[in-house]
Amino acid sequence: MRKKQNNTMPIIGAFLMLLGIILILFVIFYPSGETVSENDPVVENPDQTISVDPTKEETPEVLPEVSPELPQEESENTPTDPETTPETSEPVPEVTPEEEKMTVDTSLWNLILVNPDNFLPEDYSFEKEQVQGNYYLDSRAAPYAKQMIEDAKKEGIDLQICSSIRDVDLQTRLFNNKINDLISEGYSEADAKVKAATIVAVPGTSEHHTGLALDIVTPSYQRLNAGYAETDAAKWLKANAAKYGFILRYPQDKTEITKIIFEPWHYRYVGTEYSEFIMSEGICFEEFIELYGAKE
């Protein structure tokens, strides 16, 4: 029995020695406080206290930048919360072009329209007053014509009336004379009547029946043709007649509307309330009535 115990002792000693070697190797290769690789999985310890070395600079974590909420100015495109919008005065409704556009009473004596499509009413009448020599106008327009002639004279412009009021009989004679002149020039009777109507108004459609129209020339140029437009008298009238309530009745660029040739000598009284507007807008009387006449 004693001999058997002596045989196991070396084995135990060898085992203990091997165990000691293993422990030594473990301590060498796995020291305490070893740095963990960035690629090694980390198990967070909820009880661990993290200390920060203030002397050691660390790169802070970059977080999305959040701007503090500030009150924004309202723009036209910013929706407004109806519950928080302060009360304001009632907005002024926008005025449409139709509402802005003036309207005129075309039944007024000074706005009567007489042209190839609008005959003079049979019961039309007025009192007349002398303007210059044997030429008269409606007494309501005559003072303005006289003042215009006087003021032009002060500026060295000599205005001479060559036609004013015409009754239907006189207009008929003038119209027939023009037809005969055109026939003698080679026009057929039918064509002569059509052509004559663009030069001399058909009886009953002449503005001269109204007592509101004047044909004005100057002593140095008394021909009724387009050349008159180049005279100082015609230029003065075009620039100043509206101040006295008169308009150039048959402009050069409106012949298709008026159906009358360009007549730089023919001026029509409409009143100062409308004359300057018509002339400044560059429209003819027909356009003015169409655009601004009160519709029934």
CA-closest candidate to residue 291, choices 266, 269, 272, 274: 274
Which positions are catalytic? Answer: 263
Rounded Cα gap, residues 277 and 289, in angstroms: 12
Q: Is 246 exposed, middle or buried (0-12, 13-18, 19+ CB in 10 A)?
A: buried
What is the β-pairing status of strands 160-163 and 135-138?
unpaired
Residue 248 in contact with residue 265, Cβ under 8 Å? no
- Residues with Cβ within 8 Å of residue 262, at least 6 apart in sequence: 226, 229, 250, 251, 252, 255
What distance lies between CA 69 and its chain's CA centroid? 41
User: By the 8 A CB rule, do 258 and 115 touch?
Assistant: yes
Distance of CA 105 to the CA centre of its chain: 26
Residue 111's nearest CA partner among 294, 289, 236 is: 289
202, 175 in Cβ contact below 8 A? yes
**How is residue 3 written in tokens?**
């001999």
Distance CA 245, CA 107 (A): 17
C-alpha to C-alpha distances, 12 to 7, 25, 34, 96, nearest whole angstrom: 10, 20, 34, 115
